[in-house]
Amino acid sequence: MSELTDLKEELNRWDEGVKKATSKYPERKENFESTSGIELKRTFTPLDIEGLDYLNDVGFPGKYPFTRGVQPTMYRGRFWTMRQYAGFGNAEDTNKRYKYLLEQGQTGLSVAFDLPTQIGYDSDYSLSLGEVGKCGVAIDSLADMETLFDEIPLDKVSTSMTINSTAAILLAMYIGVAEKQGVTLDKLTGTIQNDILKEYVARGTYIFPPKESMRIITDIFSFCKDNMPRWNTISISGYHIREAGSSAVQEVAFTLVNGIAYVDAAIQAGLNVDDFASRLSFFFNSHNNIIEEVAKFRAARRMWGKIMKERFHAQKDKSCMLRFHTQTAGCTLIAQQPINNIVRVAFQALAAVLGGTQSLHTNSFDEALALPSEDAVRTALRTQQVIAHESGAADIVDVLAGSYAVEALTDTIEKKAFEYIEKIDSIGGAIKAIEAGYIQKEIGDSAFQYQIDVEKEANIIVGLNKFQIEEPPPTNLLKVNPEVGRLQCEKLERVKKQRDDAKLKKALKDLENVAKGDGNLMPNIMEAVRNYATLGEITDILRGVFGEYREA
């Protein structure tokens, strides 16, 4: 106690000395705060982490509560998966991009689907006009998925698919390709995002009401538990929550509260927590403030470990591990002086690595203008490779552990995020909070305040509200083939003519009957896919039974 008293007195003397010495040069702004409104002191000392239990709260890498990482060796054993998110045009276009990225040293695939695919419409549907292949690849049937992964052995590559409402259908198509390649399901590795709750609050590609959406998700959990032990059944996503304007604290809190809802739903569906929890994965954003982002990742890991052990009584360590993919922050990229985005992405990627990510996508510098060009996506991948092989950041596990600032911020983010979770629990959980609009309002308020700060130049964005220059229009941007919609519709028409209509009708009718009952949907979706039912046809069957969600 006397040591702490002495430290407080010494800190006060130091602070007074600093104020006197710098009186001629006042600090550049009145308040220094993180994006979550956490005070950033001029310096941090042991006083700021007083009461932190190092053995129980920080500990060692690979040990509960996993503050310092989920593996004891981390990147000294193996680098994170370098998984560049890609998809545009038709399956042929995207297949070429995947092969190029793999040739350049990418170690995992990540599929971006176009908007019609995400919301369950075929390319020939009227509302799909003008959207086919624009923000991702168009996938209408198993035939497209076969082309997408042509000459890519699915037992040798890990694949992530950013798909939510139609996740069960796209997973079934992926399984269909594996079957045609002769790859058994137990050898498939990868992830489907499959996180519908964040769609209701941050992204909008929902189809079915929450109750029915949760049934589909828990059916996937159950099916994969029995058939695909190496597959991540969900990627609980804070990324889009942050892109919608949340703070770092809100990103952690709202992501984990959604995770709680999924675990609750799975348990209510009859699953044992230790039978599925180890295949839950997470997806976070990485922003520019390196120290806050590192602390955020560490806090999220510690919180999830405590939630799984103390709230859900998980017995296995693997059930308590928060494994996560990271993507650098799309919303921080700007169209002005786009080459500067390379620097932003590098800092964000470094934060993710220092925070212990399991896989990483680095955005391309031209993404504020168009889908990434080949040169830009290669530079983004090289950014990861430079960090891995040249920076030294991967040589020591949780290298910033013990930093007074990092430990204090980790502790504060955890405290504030748990306060949000307690508030949402009092409302009745994530789904009730979504239906009440509480989470949406919190995100909206945060986004509004951020925009005000940018406009008032309280937040400096280089090239946007400060340090502008005259610059020529950009060149070498990727342009999606304007004929992609027509070509995709022609391919879809050929598929429909070649399939066995009798088998197709039976498969769809069987799916409808199961949807009306309480059986697992996955086997029937797979049978429909094998008979080349389209994504839209399968979704329409489920729409007819489940209805569609309309935001109040």
- Structural domain spans, the chain: 54-435, 497-546
Model confidence band, residue 251 (pLDDT cutoffs 50, 70, 90): very high
Average model confidence (pLDDT) across the chain: 94
Residue 323 token pair: 């494994």
Residue 81 DSSP class: E
Assess whether pLDDT exceeds 70 at residue 297.
Answer: yes
Assess whether pLDDT exceeds 90 at residue 347.
Answer: yes
Q: 122 with 154: CB under 8 angstroms?
A: no
Q: What whole-number distance in Å separates Cα of residue 97 and Cα of residue 86? A: 8
| Alpha carbon distances (Å) from 340 to 76, 351, 364, 441, 463 | 31, 17, 11, 32, 8
pLDDT-above-70 percentage for the chain: 98
Assess whether pLDDT exceeds 80 at residue 47.
Answer: no
Position 8 scores a pLDDT of 78
Q: 170 with 525: CB under 8 angstroms?
A: no
Return the CATH number of 54-435, one of 3.40.50.300, 3.30.70.20, 3.20.20.240, 2.60.40.10: 3.20.20.240
Residue 428 main-chain phi, psi, to 5 deg? 125, 10
Q: Among 71-75, 233-237, 460-464, which is the least confidently predicted range?
A: 71-75
Helical H segments across 209-308, by residue range: 210-227, 239-243, 248-268, 273-276, 290-306
User: SS3 of 373, please?
Assistant: coil
Q: 61 with 68: CB under 8 angstroms?
A: yes
Amino acid at residue number 245? G
> For the stretch 398-425, what's the b/e string if a residue is b when 16 or more beta carbons lie within 10 angstroms of its beta carbon?
bebbebebbbbbbbbbbebbbebbeebe
**Higher pLDDT among residues 119 and 475, named by residue:** 119
Residue 258 token pair: 């959604």
Residue 85 main-chain phi, psi, to 5 deg? -75, 125
In tens, the pLDDT along 192-243 reads 999 999 999 999 999 999 999 999 999 999 999 999 999 999 999 999 999 9
Nearest to 230 by CA among 183, 180, 181: 183
Q: 341 with 363: CB under 8 angstroms?
A: yes
- Phi-psi map region of 198: left, alpha, beta (phi>0 left; psi -120 to 50 alpha): alpha
Residue 522 token pair: 């996955």
Position 310 scores a pLDDT of 98
Residue 162 DSSP class: E
Model confidence band, residue 299 (pLDDT cutoffs 50, 70, 90): very high
Q: Among 5-9, 60-64, 404-408, 545-549, which is the least confidently predicted range?
A: 5-9
Model confidence band, residue 3 (pLDDT cutoffs 50, 70, 90): low
Position 2 scores a pLDDT of 63
Model confidence band, residue 488 (pLDDT cutoffs 50, 70, 90): very high
Number of CB atoms found within 10 A of residue 205's CB: 19
> Is the torsion defined by CA of 241, 244, 247, 248 positive or negative?
positive
Nearest to 85 by CA among 275, 317, 328, 270: 328
Assess whether pLDDT exceeds 60 at residue 326.
Answer: yes
Taking residues 463-474, what's their average pLDDT? 93
Taking residues 64-86, what's their average pLDDT? 93
**CA atoms lying within 13 Å on the CB side of residue 254:** 35
Residue that has been written with the tokens 């989920």 in this structure: 70
Residue 273 token pair: 């927590």
Q: What whole-number distance in Å separates Cα of residue 104 and Cα of residue 359? A: 17
- pTM attached to this predicted model: 0.92
User: SS3 of 324, please?
Assistant: strand
Assess whether pLDDT exceeds 90 at residue 17.
Answer: no
| Alpha carbon distances (Å) from 122 to 116, 134, 166, 493, 546 | 6, 14, 12, 11, 19
Position 167 scores a pLDDT of 98
Q: 136 with 114: CB under 8 angstroms?
A: yes
User: SS3 of 416, please?
Assistant: helix
> For the stretch 360-382, what's the b/e string if a residue is b when 16 or more beta carbons lie within 10 angstroms of its beta carbon?
bbbbbbbbbbbbbbeebbbbbbe
Q: Among 19-33, 47-61, 185-199, 338-352, which is the least confidently predicted range?
A: 19-33
Residue 446 token pair: 């945060």
Residue 104 main-chain phi, psi, to 5 deg? -85, 0
Question: Which contiguous run of DSSP H or E holds residue 112?
Answer: strand 108-112
Amino acid at residue number 46? P
Q: What whole-number distance in Å separates Cα of residue 48 and Cα of residue 64? A: 23
User: SS3 of 379, please?
Assistant: helix
Nearest to 158 by CA among 96, 106, 217, 226: 106
Model confidence band, residue 4 (pLDDT cutoffs 50, 70, 90): low
Position 135 scores a pLDDT of 93
